[in-house]
Amino acid sequence: MNKIAIIGGGAAGTGAAWQLYKRLVQKNNAFIANDGRDNTSITLYERNSRVGGRAQGLTFAGCNIEVGGVLFHSSGKLTSEMMQFTGCKKGAPPFAINEKTDCCAFFTSAGFPVNARTSMASMASGIVKHVGIASSLRAASAASKIAKQYEEIYDQLIWRERDPFKTPDELFDALGLLEPTRISCEQYLLNNSINERMAYDIVEPMARSTYNQGREINALASLVGLAGAGLAKGNAELAGAAAPKKKMLFQSLINNNLFSGLSNGSLFVIDGGNWTLYDKVLRLSDVDVRTLTKVDKITIFSTPESKHPYNFRVLSRDGIVTEYDAVILAAPLALADIQIDLDGRPFVLPIHPYLEVQSTLVAGELNPEFFKQAAGTPMPNTIFVASSANSPFNHISSVGISPNYNCRIYKIFSANRSLTEEELTNIFNKVHEIQTHVWRGAYPVLTPGIRHLPFQIIPGLYFANALETMVSLLELETISGTNAANLCANYLGL
């Protein structure tokens, strides 16, 4: 009998549980028929009342709104497999209200230098007009190169199932992507001769929208975010809309992925709420999920009777202590508030800092003058904010239409601070309702070149969040959990 504990029911913990389940099913077909576990039990501890972690939604002004991880990209193979497994369906991304009439803009000290329809043709021509063809193409080709290498991650996971990656560095090195994790986005853009307009007015505002951090973050995170931002939807529209003499250049931009997202795919949410995907996966994988059960302490001990070098006692907030053969920690250490002891002494791990981010929801009407536009100007539904705009927030987007007030609902991201009443009065002409969700730790501080924790902390204790200090995305966390689960399964001989 093998007993495994997973601590945390977000994208990483669910990825780990699901991979263990798949390994058990593969190993023993009788697993399904017997409804047993091949003598292996998986218990998942989740401190909140439901799983999903940072994929959470709430009801506001009559709409269901995702306040954490919102967008999945269609290139995410593990998410697609989990959707097939559970029957979860795609829902439309919240910004896709009507791409014929709605706009997306980049807000800088000069107002909106790019203010385009959310269609790809309009977006591409707006950016090219502002930054020039050369830097657009260079940024596109950098994003394209990275996106292609990044997608090899799935083949690597399969090849390395029996010999999983020990560290995030090892994984990104295998993809040829270690270098961009070690330099800043700013340095990477400089090295690739990408001009300041592209760097400061386009690339950085996108990083701020994805991570609430600027051009100081590691280049890989910013470029994956840029490629995955998928500002627009397909190639045909662009090719059709582009003037004939520019068509080749535009087509090249599209082929290079900049405006179409990874693999020219699309962005989506899970119908019914993103958290429901993780909930269904865990239910169907027959994991014993203990919600409202925070883990306070893990005690690592050795005993001569055990076949393993270490065993683990997990103490949860309800005072129950349970012994396990292996533990997968699937929560960032900065947020987990877990004490780890080894042979009676504290086992101290370096804690990587996480950033506090506030998602402020407002049902109301934007004030064009705040954005340096004439009164009465129709406002875009997504606004990427450059640091030059000196704005109190990093990103603002419309995430629905309130049936209660018949107006748009905006979601505003601000880091390490909430918006004051005075600021909200300046940003909006009319406010019907406000609600703020505080993420105590929304994303890791994405510093380039840091030492990342390994997937294996000691034999039997695994860290499913290891990849997050490089790039923080739902799919990548599931990949990270999968790799940690492979290490755990091999160790237990599953």
Ligand X SMILES: Cc1cc2nc3c(=O)[nH]c(=O)nc-3n(C[C@H](O)[C@H](O)[C@H](O)COP(=O)(O)OP(=O)(O)OC[C@H]3O[C@@H](n4cnc5c(N)ncnc54)[C@H](O)[C@@H]3O)c2cc1C
Within 10 Å of residue 348's Cβ, how many Cβ atoms? 9
**Binding of residue 43 to ligand X (CB under 6 A):** no
Q: What Rg value do the Cα atoms of the chain yield, rounded?
A: 23
Task: Specify the amino acid at residue 81.
Answer: E
Q: How far is the CB of 108 from ligand X (least distance, A)?
A: 23
**Binding of residue 354 to ligand X (CB under 6 A):** no
Applying CB under 6 A, the site for ligand X has a residue count of: 38
Question: In sequence order, which residues have a C-beta less than 8 Å from that of residue 327 and are 6 or more positions away?
Answer: 4, 5, 6, 7, 298, 312, 314, 460, 461, 462
Can you tell me which of 3, 4, 6, 8 binds ligand X, judged by CB under 6 A?
8
| Contact predicate 4/464, CB 8 Å | no
**Of 49, 15, 41, nearest to 294 (Cα)?**
49
| Contact predicate 51/14, CB 8 Å | yes
Considering the complex, state which of residue 262 and residue 474 has its C-beta at the smaller distance from ligand X. Answer: 474
**Binding of residue 472 to ligand X (CB under 6 A):** yes
Q: What is the DSSP letter of 54?
A: T
Considering the complex, state which of residue 266 and residue 359 has its C-beta at the smaller distance from ligand X. Answer: 359
**Binding of residue 355 to ligand X (CB under 6 A):** no
Can you tell me which of 45, 165, 354, 410 binds ligand X, judged by CB under 6 A?
45
Can you tell me which of 17, 123, 338, 427 binds ligand X, judged by CB under 6 A?
338
Considering the complex, state which of residue 250 and residue 324 has its C-beta at the smaller distance from ligand X. Answer: 324
Q: How far is the CB of 72 from ligand X (least distance, A)?
A: 6
Stretch that binds ligand X, among 16-24, 46-54, 163-171, 342-350 (CB under 6 A): 46-54
Tokens matching residue 56: 């959470």
| Contact predicate 156/171, CB 8 Å | yes
**Binding of residue 180 to ligand X (CB under 6 A):** no
**Binding of residue 484 to ligand X (CB under 6 A):** no
Considering the complex, state which of residue 113 and residue 481 has its C-beta at the smaller distance from ligand X. Answer: 481
Stretch that binds ligand X, among 67-75, 148-156, 242-250, 363-371 (CB under 6 A): 67-75
Complete DSSP assignment for 172-232: HHHTT-HHHHHSBHHHHHHHTT--HIIIIIIIHHHHHHHHS--TTSBHHHHHHHHHHT--S
Q: How far is the CB of 117 from ligand X (least distance, A)?
A: 22
**Binding of residue 380 to ligand X (CB under 6 A):** no
Distance, in Å, from the CA atom of 242 to the CA atom of 234, rounded to the nearest integer, reads 13
Q: How far is the CB of 463 from ligand X (least distance, A)?
A: 10
Per CB under 6 A, residues contacting ligand X are 7-13, 45-48, 53-55, 68-71, 294-295, 330-331, 335-338, 357, 359, 439, 442-443, 465, 468, 472-475, 477
